[in-house]
Amino acid sequence: MKQVFNPYLPNYEYIPDGEPHIFNDRLYVYGSHDRFGSRFFCDNDYVLWSAPLDDLSDWVFHGVIYRKDQDPLNKEELNPLFAPDVTQGKDGRYYLYYAPCGTKSIGVAVADSPEGPFTFLGHVKHKEGTLLGQKLNDPYPFDPAVYFAKNNTYLYVGFSPDPGWDFLKREFGSIALSSGAHVTELEDDMCTMKSECRKVEISGCPDPGHDFFEAPSIRKVDDKYCFIYSSMNSHELCHSFGDKPEGPFTYKGILHDNGDIGLNGRNEKDRVSYTGNNHGSIIMINGKWYIFAHRQSNYSVYARQGVAEELKRNPDGSFKQSEMTSCGLNGEPLDNKGKYGAYIACHLTSGSGAVHYLDNCEGQEFEGIRIKHPAFSQDGEDREDDPGQFIRNMSDGSTAGFKYFKPAESLYLSVFTRGDEGLFEVREVFHGPVLNTIRLDKNDGFSESETVLIELSDMKKVSLYFTYRGNGHIDFDSFILK
């Protein structure tokens, strides 16, 4: 068995919005599919990866399971396929629900196997045949989640946009879309709504920032139903508990934040990495609960990668906020010997901190931000077998952090970088004392540095932080522990 890191799929794969499901003793993660270098969300067709439950490092690629042009409303492939979800129906077949951008609809596809390929079945519609999303006061047909419980199939959709958002006016004109998450049950044909959508009620949010924004998902946790969603803060996934699949639900807290905001009281100014939107869900694997979410890369929100973290429980059964790590699904800290790609960093900031990509790294500001900030990136084109993802553009004060490794009294350490000269300060704790420094020579290609010895504290698990010091810029490819 190999180790598994964050992101848990190969470093050339960009699958955000992960919905994990277990079918036939395998873990499948259904998600949308970003394209590296694109300037919009979800430009690629749906693909699928799965792993056996007894080895979460052994991911298998099942190829394309559904194409954009299979939907009759999207024959010209003009609209990307946003976040999907899958359930197994009463008939034993597997049903894929998705939202093609700009079509005002929720599509449904079906397959005989969880691995697909899926075939178009229809669109979710009202009893009289009008498509969901095309009637006055329909909810926004977006981010479908589907759940089979008590012999009923529940469909959740929704969005809570700012009424002034111009793109909604362009897409939906005068249609008065109902804001928030909504739920309905489906007939046995898996397309027809049994009744009109009802709003999902969530009480107890401590402030409006934790209210529902998008990305509904639903899971059974013990004897409760757990409703998961992306909040108005965007970078976090929250959860709530209810006694019935349709709610009402009571807010229980943050599950995951892609900047660790909220963890141990951390505020947005002290985020540990570059944040953007978030979307995912939870699942129990081998007796442990995990949250599947995503992180941003390439100075944008259009090249997102799946990450997963173990969840711990509170006394009332709810979940504590997970910590972003490099080891994720590994089940234990990483070995303290071996070569590791810098792309598994769970902490990445510039000398002046990190930013929220939607606010700071879009459009005309892109090149300016690129000069100032580091980012996960690659030299190769989208979906090359080994594009060699690395950390691009570290400048003075930029820090990459990795958690966790197995304890050791001391380690020999070297790094592979390219770019200008300078040095790395190595720490166990961000802003902590410097354990040693590594001299970095100027070079055009990735080259190994000198090897230095670092003396570690007597800890149960080890963190490593690399801070660049210099007048130029470097790219950070990997490091060796021995």
Domain-located, residue 234:
yes
The pairing of strands 390-394 and 422-427 is unpaired
CATH number of the domain residue 409 falls in: 2.60.120.260
Question: Structural domain of residue 463, as residue ranges?
Answer: 338-481
Domain count across the chain? 2
* Domain final residue, candidates 330, 364, 394: 330
| 224 in the same domain as 370 | no
CA 227 to chain centre: 17
CATH number of the domain residue 120 falls in: 2.115.10.20
What pLDDT sits at residue 360?
A: 45
| 110 in the same domain as 177 | yes
What pLDDT sits at residue 370?
A: 47
Phi, psi of 199 (to 5 degrees): -70, 140
Q: Please tell me the number of Cα atoms within 13 Å of 318 on its side-chain side.
A: 17
The DSSP line for 303-365 is EEEEEEEEE-B-TTS-BPPPPP-S-GGGSSPBPSSEEEEGGG-SEEEBTTB--BHHHHSSGGG
For the four alpha carbons of 380, 234, 321 and 179, in that order, the dihedral sign comes to negative
Nearest of 428, 430, 432 to residue 459 by alpha carbon: 428
Q: Under a CB-based contact definition with an 8 Å cutoff, are residues 454 and 437 in contact?
A: no
Residue found by looking up tokens 């594009």 in the block:
387
Q: What is the pLDDT of residues 245-276, one digit of tens each?
A: 999 999 999 999 999 999 999 999 999 999 99
Q: Which two tokens stand for residue 292?
A: 């599947």
| 356 in the same domain as 286 | no
Q: Which two tokens stand for residue 221?
A: 């946790």
The CA distance from 205 to 236, in Å, is: 14
What pLDDT sits at residue 342?
A: 98
| 358 in the same domain as 260 | no
* Domain final residue, candidates 304, 330, 356: 330
Helix then strand then coil, % of the chain, to nearest 5? 10, 45, 45
| 202 in the same domain as 132 | yes
| 357 in the same domain as 284 | no
Nearest of 263, 259, 219 to residue 242 by alpha carbon: 219
The CA distance from 98 to 70, in Å, is: 12
* Domain final residue, candidates 299, 330, 361: 330
The DSSP 8-state label assigned to residue 472 in this structure reads S
Domain-located, residue 2:
no
| 352 in the same domain as 323 | no
Domain-located, residue 347:
yes
Q: Which residue numbers in the chain have pLDDT < 70?
A: 1, 77, 161-177, 358-371, 384-386
What pLDDT sits at residue 23?
A: 97
Domain-located, residue 435:
yes
Domain-located, residue 350:
yes
| 100 in the same domain as 178 | yes
Nearest of 119, 342, 148, 448 to residue 438 by alpha carbon: 448
Q: What is the pTM of this model?
A: 0.94
| 356 in the same domain as 244 | no
| 295 in the same domain as 183 | yes
Domain-located, residue 448:
yes
As annotated, the active-site residues are 17, 214
Domain-located, residue 4:
no
| 342 in the same domain as 319 | no
Neighbour tally for 433: CB within 10 Å:
8
Domain-located, residue 188:
yes
| 407 in the same domain as 375 | yes
